[in-house]
């Protein structure tokens, strides 16, 4: 039977309409719209509030407790974003501009003091030229929480406020830039929705990027807990190697990051990475769900700040149990989930830490 060109065209359109959507493209789009973009927007809102708080505090319009809370909110938003930091945040050294860790030689304190001494009237432009060590939340935390600094003392407040304001402005500008690069016409959101594109030849590459970032972040959680626990120093606790020891927010940051990783697994509407596993992988799904639940349970049982838990044997035992649960979670993602999805993870950003 000879078909007319019109018939062939209509047949092609019908087949295209009936063909199933690429599951990886569907998942990538769902995660970008339902998880990644909202997390970036929350981070930006927290940084806008941080910059506003710095200005208000230094103008005498906000008390220290409120200023500290604005910082903790920004720090938590950043922690929850790290397992989702694909796209613009993975480029141009940006993550280091947000947070400097590990700080093995107390560089933050030393470089902040050197900068403040050299530039007593420091402006945002001066900070742009400075090291990433003093540009981000770790330096902000030093100013807000270090026991040697009293921002309720007028002289010290005058000394440190220019840097406080500059860091707030820098973080807000950075978050604005990154979010703009997500939402632009050819921005990151578009790259995770339509394939092929200039970054990803196919949806599988986008999914690989997401899983790689998530696995690296979960491994990072182990390092952020393992370093102060002394797992790299023959079991001798190193409390000052904790990510946020000054603000005593180390454990809450771990919880925020764990939540971010779990969002990528579940998705906003059960349309996350788990949706790519068929019914023959139900056992793996259940074990990953159970691993997240176990880690959350272990974390919830840690009722004291990290520094206090490190100081006694029982506290260290509970921290090690939490670490072990994170290790199970990491291995499931790095090994079994990656294999089930056909993904080669390759280099880990935390290798060599």
**Chain segment 254-307, per-residue pLDDT in tens:** 999 999 999 999 999 999 999 999 999 999 999 999 999 999 999 999 999 999
Provide the strand spans (E) within the chain: none
Give the CA angle between residues 352, 310, 329 to the nearest 5°. Answer: 50
Query: How far is Cα 159 from Cα 236, in angstroms, rounded to an integer?
Result: 37
CA pair distance 143, 124, nearest whole angstrom? 16
**Topology at the third CATH level for domain 23-340:** A middle domain of Talin 1 (1.20.1420)
Q: What is the pLDDT of residue 17?
A: 37
Task: Give me the chain's average pLDDT, please.
Answer: 93
Q: Which two tokens stand for residue 25?
A: 């493209």
pLDDT, residue 1, reads: 47
User: What confidence score (pLDDT) does residue 8 get?
Assistant: 39
* 102, burial (CB in 10 Å: exposed 0-12, middle 13-18, buried 19+): middle
With 0-12 / 13-18 / 19 or more C-beta atoms within 10 angstroms meaning exposed / middle / buried, residue 260 is buried
Strand (E) or helix (H) holding 279: none
Rounded distance between C-alpha atoms, residue 41 and residue 314, angstroms: 40
- Quick one: average pLDDT of 33-39? 98
pLDDT of residue 347: 55
Are 306 and 250 spatial neighbours (Cβ–Cβ below 8 Å)? yes
Q: Cis ω on the peptide bond leading into residue 196 (within 30° of 0)?
A: yes
Lowest mean pLDDT among 127-136, 168-177, 226-235: 226-235
| Percentage of the chain lying above the pLDDT 70 cut | 92
Owner of token pair 């770790």: 138
pLDDT tens string 103-124: 999 999 999 999 999 999 999 8
Model pTM above 0.95:
no
Q: Is the pLDDT of residue 312 over 80?
A: yes
Query: pLDDT digit string (tens) for 202-243?
Result: 999 999 999 999 999 999 999 999 999 999 888 899 999 999
Cα–Cα distance for residue pair 52/37, rounded to 1 Å: 23
Residues 6+ apart with CB under 8 A from 58: 157, 161, 164, 165
Mean pLDDT of 80-108: 95
DSSP string, 283-321: HHHHHHHHHHHHHHHHHHT--S-HHHHHTSHHHHHHHHH
pLDDT of the residue at 48: 98
CB 158 within 8 Å of CB 122: no
pLDDT band at 20 (very low <50, low <70, confident <90, very high): low
Specify the pLDDT at position 31. 98
Cα separation, 174 vs 172, in Å, equals 5
Asked if the model's pLDDT at residue 16 lies above 50, the reply is: no
CA pair distance 182, 164, nearest whole angstrom: 27
């Amino acid at each position: 039977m000879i078909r007319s060109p019109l018939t062939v065209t209509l047949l092609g359109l019908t087949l295209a309409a009936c063909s199933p959507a690429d599951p990886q493209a569907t998942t990538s789009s769902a995660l970008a719209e339902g998880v990644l973009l909202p997390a970036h927007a929350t981070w930006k809102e927290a940084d806008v509030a941080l910059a506003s708080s710095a200005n208000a505090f230094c103008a005498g319009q906000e008390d220290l407790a409120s200023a500290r809370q604005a910082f903790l909110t920004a720090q938590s938003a950043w922690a929850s974003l790290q397992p989702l930091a694909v796209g613009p945040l993975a480029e141009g050294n940006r993550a280091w501009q947000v947070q400097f860790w590990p700080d093995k030689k107390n560089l933050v304190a030393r470089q902040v003091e050197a900068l403040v001494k050299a530039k007593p009237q420091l402006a945002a432009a001066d900070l742009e030229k400075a090291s990433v060590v003093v540009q981000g939340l770790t330096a902000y935390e030093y100013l807000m929480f270090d026991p040697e600094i009293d921002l309720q003392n007028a002289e010290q407040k005058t000394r440190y406020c220019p840097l406080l304001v500059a860091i707030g402005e820098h973080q807000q500008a950075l978050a604005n830039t990154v979010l703009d690069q997500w939402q632009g016409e050819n921005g990151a959101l578009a790259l995770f929705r339509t394939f092929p594109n200039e970054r990803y030849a196919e949806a599988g590459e986008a999914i690989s990027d997401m899983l790689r970032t998530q696995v690296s972040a979960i491994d990072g959680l182990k390092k952020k807990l393992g370093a102060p626990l002394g797992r790299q120093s023959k079991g001798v606790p190193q409390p000052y190697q904790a990510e946020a020891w000054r603000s005593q927010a180390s454990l809450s940051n771990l919880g925020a990051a764990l939540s971010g990783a779990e969002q990528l697994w579940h998705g906003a509407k059960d349309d996350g990475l788990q949706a790519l596993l068929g019914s023959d992988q139900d056992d793996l799904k259940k074990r990953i769900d159970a691993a997240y639940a176990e880690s959350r349970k272990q974390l919830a049982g840690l009722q004291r700040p990290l520094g206090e838990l490190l100081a006694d044997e029982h506290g260290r035992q509970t921290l090690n149990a939490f670490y072990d649960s994170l290790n199970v979670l990491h291995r499931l993602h790095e090994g079994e989930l990656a294999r089930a999805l056909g993904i080669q993870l390759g280099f880990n950003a935390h290798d060599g830490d």
